[in-house]
Amino acid sequence: MSSTVLIVIPVFNESERWNVEYFNQLSSKAKQKSDFLFVDDGSTDESLHLIRDLCGRNDKYGYLVLPANQGKSEATRLGLLKGFELGYSAVGFLDADGAFEVNDVVRIIDVYLEKCKPDGNWDSVWSSRLSISGRKIVRNGKRHFVGRLLSHFICLFMKDAPWDTQSGLKIYKGDENLLQILQHPFKTRWFFELEMLQRYVGMFGASLQIWEEPVDAWTDVKGSKIRFRHAPSIIIEMAFIIRTNVKIFTMSLRGN
């Protein structure tokens, strides 16, 4: 362990999108700011071979192998727990597809180190793919529209919800509260970050204090694992998140 921050990178059948130069640059620019842990989620292609090859040549990377595919949410949860086991004081996760530019990943780590000091007011830093002047956010139009629509509905009654709930780069303080939140598998696969927020409110009676930081660039990488057949499960999970939001909101009103 050479840093205080561990970034978990869940991987499932990413061999066709694997960019070894991207990860070489990431480790070089992160230097002593962060270490990285790949979690192979039961890949059936050459992903594990590629991970082992990279880790064998770069001590900033380690890996954890799951015997069977358990989904991104569980792979991420187990990776974050491994961060606690290894003694990191901050844990986070990053999508493996290289959609975030290396400079943005390093900058988000810097923002975390600045904002989330032990005695500070912020608990977490979330990246945001906010398409504003000066930023280069390249997204699939239909997916972006659907994503914003889903985000609007699933955040109903959720206090202080970030604008970009599904952005795949987030860092959290590795405190006792987060450790408790991670003790049990998530009920959702697509919206586990929001489920974490709900657990935080339900268990501790307060919202996770999130600093949302816009990235300078993000590119929608082809090869998404989301397919039309996933629509029923996404709708079911949306209903679960919204129902839980309403329950928490109702309880807060009664408390007031």
pLDDT at position 29 over 80: yes
What pLDDT shows up at residue 243?
A: 78
The band of 104, judged by pLDDT with boundaries at 50, 70 and 90, is very high
Quick check: pTM over 0.75? Answer: yes
99 has pLDDT over 60: yes
Question: 187-241: per-residue pLDDT in tens?
Answer: 998 889 989 999 998 899 888 999 999 999 999 887 655 555 657 877 788 777 7
Q: How far apart are CA 182 and CA 53, in angstroms?
A: 30
**Positive/negative CA dihedral, 143, 208, 101, 54:** negative
Q: What is the mean pLDDT of the chain?
A: 88
Q: What is the CATH number of the domain that holds 16?
A: 3.90.550.10
Segment (H or E) for 63:
strand 61-66
Domain total in the chain: 1
Q: How far apart are CA 225 and CA 192, in angstroms?
A: 16
Q: What angle do CA 56, 59, 60 make, to 5 degrees?
A: 125
CB 41 within 8 A of CB 12: yes
Closest CA to 44 of 75, 13, 21, 20: 13
Q: What is the DSSP string of 179-223?
A: HHHTTS--S-SS-HHHHHHHHHHHHHSS---EEEEE-SEEE--S-
Angle at 105 between CA 178 and CA 10, to 5 degrees: 55
pLDDT of 109 strictly over 80 = yes
Q: What is the mean pLDDT of residues 122-148?
A: 80
- Note down the domain range covering 250: 5-255
Question: Contact 131/220 with Cβ under 8 angstroms?
Answer: no
